[in-house]
Structure 1
Amino acid sequence: MKNEINIGLLGFGVVGSGVAKILQNHQDDLRHKLGVPVVIKKVLVKDLHKKRETILSSEIFTNDLNEVLGDPSIDLIVEVIGGTSEAKKAIESSLRAGKGVVTANKDVMAVSGLELLKLADENKCDLFYEASVGGGIPLIRTLEDGLASDRISALTGIVNGTTNFILTKMKHDKMTYEDALAEATALGFAEADPSADVDGIDAARKMVILASLSFSTEVLLEDVFVRGMKEIKEGDLELAEQFGYTVKLAGSAKKDEEGIEVAVEPVLFPNSHPLASVNNEFNAVYIYGDAVGETMFYGPGAGSLPTATSVTGDIVAACRNLLLGVNGKRLHAPQYARKVKSDSKKFARYFHRIRVKDEVGVLTKLTSIYSDYDASLATVIQHPDKKEAGADLIFITHKISRQQHLDIVKKLNETPEVIGVLSHYRVEGEE
């Protein structure tokens, strides 16, 4: 029986320092839960001379990864370096050295998760990654354990706190996109380069992880249809509100006998939908199971301590496995072969905002285009444009395929009477 569990902490930034703080402040609780103390034995950093606010001894800091992995007393590696190449190599080296790994790295797990989980199985090690999605929300553990006996058919959610904060400020405080982004950056919710967030890439990586787990199959980043929040045009939030909707940058994943579909895009949610009221930097994921029905998980999606809480939860799980001698016993091979739907098999309702010339017969011409593609319209409204010549037509379709939607938008943009399709969104919920 071990007298203590020794941790090798790779990285001491926002999340790493948060993990250290929780382990220090909650040592009595951890000892009670595990029966032994959990001690940070080594910390890997880039700059040994950087000033850090911590009670950890300066002697345990190193800039040599081999010093951490080569220490036989270290039982578990916690990777919070960030980035991809360096972090992946560190995880691989740790697993090959026979040390279990806890990581918060969504970028690595989205692209190389299956490969790394296979490596963990081969080396009889644990690889936990709860903090890679949803900050402080226990999503991964819920899908792996809590809903393990259920069959998940779909999930949809807000998995990026930066974009949700920006959209909240734009809707409720009437901020411009630029001002809302500036405030998100000042508060630490957005990176200096926010492109991964606002272009939907961050959310796409998280949806790869969630969909792979939910459907027990391999999902690749290239399988995800991605549109970022820059597609949201001026006036769209107000128009959505007039129709009883709220715009959110959301991830969605579905599985049926035809295969899987995964997307990240701006979506119109009815104001009655629980996700419509998720504001600021908070995340929420709505899960549909055959047995459990509909259930939602909500909480802070970013920040030092919420993310560090998820990392620490994984540390406790990994420590328990070590103490019980069952680490590396869970197999991670996908149950089902990868099968991705074509756009002609993905169905939803769509909102189209079309700028047209103010001429007789335009409405008839446009509705005939929808008819030509076997698409019927649930809502047709005309908005005069007071600033420019022309008018905006607002169409909301009944359910059509994504391929029909794309074909219609392309045809509309080629029509002489159309100045341009200003914006288009998937509409969530039943008609």
Structure 2
Amino acid sequence: MSSLNVGVLGFGTVGSGVVRILNEHQDKISQITGYDIAITKVLVRDLSKARRYENTGITLTTNANDVIGDPSIAIIVEVMGTIETAYDYVVKALQAGKHVVTANKDLIALHGDHLITIARENNCDLFYEASVAGGIPILRTIVNGLASDHLKKVMGIVNGTTNFMLTKMTSEGLTYNDALQQAQALGFAESDPTNDVDGIDAARKMVILTRLSFGMNVSLDDVSATGIRNLTVDEIKLADQLGYTIKLLGISEETNGAVDVCVTPTLLPKTHPLAGVHNENNAVFVIGEAAGETMYYGPGAGELPTASSVVSDIISIAKNIKLGTTGNVFNSYVHETNKLADANCYAKYFVRLKMTDETGTFLKMTQRFTEQNIGFSRILQLPENDDQATVVVITHTTSRANLHEALAALKNDNGIVVHSHYRVED
């Protein structure tokens, strides 16, 4: 059987998992691809560090050119977790005629379009299944399984750290800080959790999902991102009283040839499939005109789930090499990129206010919403003391522009304080 050599950039959690899967599933992979696939060289930062797979015939090096420049290596796997350094290495690999697999969502979100161009110019495959949802094969599902459908909406829980934290805040009543400390202790959150809790990680994944789902080359600047840093247990309890669960969702929705992409805490009915996704798990919910509603659920990170997606990409490349059909990227579907204006972005909203409990204040609040043609489907008023009350409303469907106008007006009114507002999905 012919050999196919692979070089790996990075030997951390995912890199180790790739080595393990290729070793343990060698017979099956060989039958599927017609190749004896072997990792021959791995780029590491420290040669002296003890590793689990030192005795598997792999050459370790601290020089990236030893891997990228090796003419016997056909496929480069990038699992370093950086951006600019990884970009430099991937460009060199593609220009050298190497096919590339990466799990780096930051790299693909920020530089994916340019890398795709370089890959095509050099007749190389470029795949990145593991970049969005770990072990969930969502990208191939969208571009292959749902290729014939006209997708309308893609939304999901694509960050395991924040989903773990929200699960703890909801089920155990932990504060944001306590939930974060627990996530950090378990290794789900970094010492600096900014990318996770502020929605940046999820936003980058939504850039990738939007490109593949709708063919639109949106940038990170096109994504409105709000994280969970300011979400309180009180708000979670208020949502619960109204029959909702709060999840941090990435949402990409197409309307009349334009797309809106956001990351935001979202109220979901407790019966919604995404409401039952707990702890560090991920799930992506897709709505198409033909297939209707489908959901894809599983572990969004971890050694073996993520490595499984990486190896699946390697297998796809091996098949293409065997058939002589290389030069592929995930999706060739391209649509003119149009961003939906706020005036055309419609949703329901949860709005929490604190109001002076006196005659006329409630009327003033309702007038501000009425001025923007916003009605209410639910109202909850909770007296706090003799002078103040918390008021929560669930609006009818309205435009984002109208909601912002109403909230801006409320902030100028005496006796009314707008605490928060979140999207509501049915």
TM bucket, shorter chain: over 0.9
Kindly provide the amino acid, as one letter, of the partner of residue 422 in structure 1.
H
Letter in 2 for 1:148: A
Q: What is the CA distance between 1:331 and its match in structure 2?
A: 8.3
> Is 1:427 aligned to 2:390, yes or no?
no
Task: Give the match for residue 50 of structure 1.
Answer: 49
Counterpart residue number, 1:18: 17
CA deviation vs aligned residue, 1:1-25 (integer Å, no higher than 9, x gap): x711100010001111111111111
Aligned residue in 2 for 1:133: 132
Structure 1 distance, partners of 2:30, 2:270, is 46
In 1, distance between residues paired with 2:331 and 2:310?
20
For these two proteins, the number of residue pairs brought into alignment is: 426
1:413 aligns with 2:396: no
Deviation at residue 415 of structure 1 after TM alignment: 0.6
**Which residues of structure 1 form unaligned runs of 5+?**
none
CA distance in structure 2 between the aligned counterparts of 1:166 and 1:222, rounded to whole angstroms? 26
Unaligned 5+ runs, structure 2: none
2:27 match: 28
Q: Specify whether residues 307 and 81 from structure 1 end up closer, same or farther in structure 2 by C-alpha distance, changes over 3 A only.
A: same
Q: Where does residue 142 of structure 2 map in the other structure?
A: 143
| 1:160 paired to 2:159 | yes
Matching of residue 403 in structure 1 with residue 397 in structure 2: no
Superposition map of 1:215-226 within 5 A: 215-226=214-225
**Deviation of the 1:31 alpha carbon:** 1.5
- 8 Å Cα contact 1:258-1:345 kept in structure 2: no
Tell me, yes or no, if the aligned pair for 2:351 and 2:421 is still in contact at 8 Å.
yes
Shift of 1:58: 7.4
How high is the TM-score relative to the length of structure 1? 0.96
Task: Describe the SS at the equivalent of 1:185.
Answer: helix
Aligned to 2:309: 310
| TM alignment of 1:288-367, pairs within 5 A | 288-329=287-328, 332=331, 335-367=334-366
Question: Measured at CA, do residues 331 and 48 of structure 1 come closer, stay the same or move farther in structure 2, by a change above 3 Å?
Answer: closer
Alignment partner of 1:196: what SS? helix
AA at the equivalent of 2:410: L
SS at match of 1:316: helix
CA displacement at 1:158 relative to structure 2: 0.5
Q: Structure 1 332/275 Cα, relative in aligned 2: closer, same or farther at 3 Å?
A: closer
For residue 416 of structure 1, give the secondary structure of its aligned residue in structure 2. coil
Task: Work out whether residues 348 and 401 of structure 1, in 8 Å CA contact, stay in contact via their aligned partners in 2.
Answer: yes
Q: What amino acid is aligned across from residue 419 of structure 2 in structure 1? A: L
| Matching residue's letter, 2:282 | N
Match of 1:287 in 2: 286
Q: Which residue of 2 aligns with 1:241?
A: 240
Is the alpha carbon distance of 1:330 and 1:81 closer, same or farther for their aligned partners in structure 2, counting shifts above 3 Å?
A: closer
- 3-state secondary structure, aligned to 1:235: helix
Distance 1:350 1:104 in 2: 35
- Cα deviation for residue 36 of structure 1 reads 2.2
Structure 2 distance, partners of 1:425, 1:331, is: 33
- The Cα offsets for residues 252-275 of structure 1, whole Å up to 9 and x where unpaired, read as 011121510001000000111110
Question: Which shows bigger deviation, 265-274 or 32-41?
Answer: 32-41
1:58-96: per-residue Cα shift (whole Å, max 9, x none)? Answer: 760001111112111101000001110001111111000
Letter in structure 1 aligned against 2:358: E
After TM superposition, the score normalised by the length of structure 2 is 0.97
AA aligned opposite 1:273: H
**Aligned equivalent of 1:384:** 383
Q: How does 1:65-144 map to 2 (within 5 A)?
A: 65-144=64-143
Alpha-carbon distance in 1 for matches of 2:97, 2:225: 37
Structure 2 residue matching 1:340: 3-state secondary structure: coil
Give 1:375 shift.
1.2
Structure 2 CA distance, aligned partners of 1:59 and 1:275? 42
Q: Could you tell me which residue of structure 2 aligns to residue 368 of structure 1?
A: 367
- The DSSP-based 3-state class of the residue aligned with 2:229 is helix
What is the identity, as a one-letter code, of the residue corresponding to 1:248?
K
In 1, Cα distance between equivalents of 2:56 and 2:420 = 56
Supply the distance in 2 between the matched residues of 1:194 and 1:334 (Cα, whole angstroms): 35
Deviation at 1:57? 4.9
Q: Helix, strand or coil: the match of 2:73?
A: coil
RMSD: 1.4
Q: Letter of the aligned partner of 1:426 in structure 2?
A: R
